[in-house]
Structure 1
Amino acid sequence: MVMIFTLVTAVQEKLNEIVDQIKNRREEEKRRKEKEAEEAEKVAFQGTVVTIENFLAWKATFEMDMAEIRRKRQKEEEQAGKTKLTGKQLFETDHNLDTSDIQFLEDAGNNVEVDESLFQDIDDLDLDEDDPDFDPLEMGSDED
Structure 2
Amino acid sequence: MADYSEEQCKELETRESIYPDSFTVLSENSPTGENDETVQTTLKFTYSEKYPDEAPHYEIFSQENLEDNNVSDILKLLVLQAEGNLEAEEAGNQLFHGTPVTNANFLNWKAKFDGELLEIKKKRMKEGEAGKNKLSGKQLFETDHNLDTSDIQFLEDAGNNVEVDESLFQEMDDLELEDDEDDYNPADPESDSVD
Same fold (TM over 0.5): no
Instruction: Name whichever structure is richer in strand by fraction.
Output: 2
Q: TM-score, normalised by structure 2?
A: 0.33
Considering Cα pairs closer than 8 Å and 6+ residues apart, tell me whether 1 or 2 has the greater RCO. Answer: 2
